[in-house]
Amino acid sequence: MATATVTDPPEGVPPVWGEGVWLHPREEDRLESLASYGVLESPTRPALTGVARLAAAVCAAPAAMVCLVDRHNQWFAATHGLSHSLIGTERIDSICSDAVATESTLVLEDASQHPRYAATALVSGAPHIRAYAGVPLIGRDGLPLGTLVALDWTPRAFSSDQVAHLEILADQVIAQLELQRADRASGRASEHVLSDALDARRLRRGIEGGEFVTRFQPIVDMRDGAVIAVETLVRWNHPDLGMVPPALFLPAMERTGLMIPLGRLVLANALDAAVHLGATLGVEGPTMTVNISGTELRSPGLAAVIERELGRRGLSPRALCIEVTESMPLPGSCAVRELERIRDLGVEIALDDFGSGTATLGQVSTLPATAIKIDRELVVGAEESERGRYILLSARDLARDLDLDYCVEGVETLAQRDLLLDAGIVYGQGWLFSTPVDVPPLTAYVADRGTAPRTRRP
C-alpha cells in the first residue's frame, strides 16, 4: 500500500465541502458502504479494542485507535491509551480523513510541524498528537471506511516493519466489521442482544452453572383444549436481570459453538419432561418439540445423540419432534443429511415459522419434514385482509396436499382462534392457551385437559 506525504490535494481528490477537507473520489459510494456496516449506530466496538492494543504494541506506541470517517465526523470505534471521553471529532480536524481520501497509508513524524495538521484540534490540543501512522481500512466493497492508527505524543519515526504490521492488523479490523455487517443483515446485530451474550466465556459459565433453563408451551386442539404436543423453549435465568427472553441472547450464541452444548441441554430437559409426564399421567405423554439450530445440524452426530438420549430414557421416537427454521440449508449439505438420519429414526421433523421467509416452498419440497408450524404473521394478515386470509388458507391446503401435520403459532386472542377454526385449522399454540411454564404447571395443564395424538389431522 502506498504511503502518502500530503501538502496539497492529490489528483482526483478535490475538497468538495468545508475548507481544506479532502474527499475520496467515490465519496458517496464510500459513505453508503460505511452505512451498510451499521457501526456508526453504536460506534464503540469492544471487539476491536484488542486490535487497537496490538497496534500500539507492534508500533511501540503509547496509543492506537480504530477510526471511522463519515460525512462530517470521525468516530473512534476502539481506542487504547486514549481517554474514553474522546469519542469523535469533526472531520475538518481529522488526519485520518486524509488517509481515507487518498486511500493511502499516512505517516507523520511530527504532526505539529506539518503545515496541514499543526492547527488541527487533536494536534494543537489534547491529546497533542505528534507521531502518526494511519492505515486505511478497505472494506469488501473496495472502499475505505476509516483507519487503524498508531500514535505517539513525542516526535518519532515508524519503521517499515511497524507499518507493515499495522496493515496486517487492519485486515483483522475489516474481518470484525464484516462480521458486524453480516449480523446486521441477518437481524443479529450486537446492539439487539444482551451485552453478556457477546462474551463466550460468560455464556459458557451460564450453561455450566445452570443459568439456562427450559420452559414448556402446549400445542393444543383448539376445539377441546386437548394437548397434542409441547414446545420446549429456553430462557436465561440471569443472576442480575432475571428471566431473559431468547431474542436477547440466542442471536449471539448462534455465532458460537456454544449452541451445541445448549442444544444438548434443552434436548435432555425436554426428554426428561416427557418421562415425567408419562410417569405422572400413567399414559404416553404428548410429543415434545425441540428447536434445533443450524450450528447443531452442521455438526454430524446429532442423530446419534438423539437416538442415545431416547434409548437411555426408554422413550419411543414418537416422543420427540425436531423443529427447524427457514434458515436451514437446502439438500446436499451436512445439515440435511443429518435431518434425514433423524427422520429415519422415526422422529418427526417440523418446519418452523412457515410463511415468514422466502425459502418456504423450496424447503417444504426438499426437506424431510413431516409437519409445518404456520407463522403467526399469516394469522395477523388473515385478520387484516381477504388477501391475507387467502394466503393462510393456501398454507393450510399445501400442508394437506403434502400429507403434513400442521398447527399455527402465536395464537393470542379469541378472535384469532375463531378465525382459525372457521378456516378448518384446529391445532394452535400461543398465550391464549398457556404461557411458557415449568414442568409442574405443565403437568397440571396436561392432566386437566388430556392429550391427543399429534398425528390426528383435521
Give per-residue burial for 254-269: e unless 16+ CB within 10 Å, then b: bbeebbbebbebbbbb
Q: What's residue 17's pLDDT?
A: 38
Cα separations in angstroms, 314 against 84, 230, 337, 409:
58, 19, 25, 30
Q: What's the pLDDT tens digit per position in 334-384?
A: 778 889 999 999 999 998 888 776 446 667 777 888 999 999 899 999 999
Distance CA 219, CA 203 (A): 30
Cell numbers linked to 23? 474527499
- Measuring CA to CA, which residue among 203, 209, 260, 269 is closest to residue 233? 269
Rounded to whole angstroms, the Cα distance separating 258 from 414 reads: 39
pTM of the model: 0.69
Alpha carbon separation from 357 to 233, 352, 354, 406 (Å, rounded): 21, 11, 8, 17
pLDDT: which is higher, 300 or 432 = 432
Strand partners, 407: 373
Q: What is the pLDDT of residue 297?
A: 82
pLDDT tops 90 at residue 233: yes
Pairing between β-strand 287-291 and β-strand 227-238 as defined by DSSP bridges: parallel
Sign for the pseudo-dihedral over CA of 410, 411, 412, 415? positive
What H or E segment, with its residue span, contains residue 354? strand 348-354
Q: Are 308 and 250 in contact (CB under 8 A)?
A: no
Radius of gyration over every alpha carbon of the chain, rounded to an integer in angstroms: 28
In the CATH scheme, what is the code of domain 3-185?
3.30.450.40
Retrieve residue 33's grid coordinates.
458502504
- Looking at the domain covering 194-449, what would its CATH class be? alpha beta
Average pLDDT over the chain reads 86
Distance from C-alpha of 177 to C-alpha of 231, rounded to nearest angstrom: 36
Q: Which residue has the higher pLDDT, 247 or 221?
A: 221
pLDDT for 458 = 44
Q: What share of residues in the chain are helix, strand, coil (percent, to 5)? A: 45, 20, 35
* Cα–Cα separations (whole angstroms), residue 358 to 140, 310, 364: 26, 34, 12
Q: Which three cell numbers stand for residue 74?
A: 470521525
Q: Where are the domains of the chain?
A: 3-185, 194-449
Q: Do domains 3-185 and 194-449 have the same CATH topology?
A: no
Beta strands at 348-354 and 427-429: parallel, antiparallel or unpaired: unpaired
What is the tens place of the pLDDT at every residue in 136-189? 999 988 999 999 999 999 999 999 999 999 999 999 999 888 877 776 665 555
Instruction: Give the separation between CA 248 and CA 206, rounded to whole angstroms.
Output: 14
The pLDDT confidence band at residue 256, using thresholds 50, 70 and 90, is confident
